[in-house]
Amino acid sequence: MEMLLYEKQATIAKAIGHPVRVAALKFVKDGEQCVCDIAKAVGTERSNLSKHLSVMVNAGVLQSRKDGLKVMYRIKTPCVVKFLGCLKDCLKEQAAEQQKMLDAME
């Protein structure tokens, strides 16, 4: 049973594990957005982005709805944004450690 939980967690991690997906999540973190606006903000084609968004919807990270001809996306579980913030903190810590190493070499 525990392994099933780990597998589900890994599925979610994989679903956000691409730079285009991280950028899309950052763009929709403050509210629902149209796929056309997300594509513009992320700098990719809609067809490419739609595949990425679909992966995140299937993993339960995003939720979508139709609004006329537009497809709107929003974050389904806001803690995903907190997780991305945690990853940013990890990168800051790594950078600080590398700077200490460089300083020690002088």
**Angstrom distance (rounded) from CA 87 to CA 69:** 35
With 0.85 as the threshold, say if the pTM is over it. yes
Mean pLDDT of 77-104: 93
For each of the domains in the chain, give its residue range(s) and CATH number, in order of start.
2-76 (1.10.10.10)
Are the CB atoms for 38 and 73 separated by under 8 Å?
yes
Sign of the alpha-carbon torsion through 32, 36, 41, 46: positive
Rounded to an integer, the average pLDDT of 10-36 is 96
Pick the closest to residue 73 from 11, 23, 19, 17 (CA basis).
Answer: 23
Q: What is the mean pLDDT of the chain?
A: 94
| C-alpha span between 58 and 16 (Å, rounded) | 11
pLDDT higher than threshold 90 for residue 14 = yes
Has residue 3 got a pLDDT over 90? yes
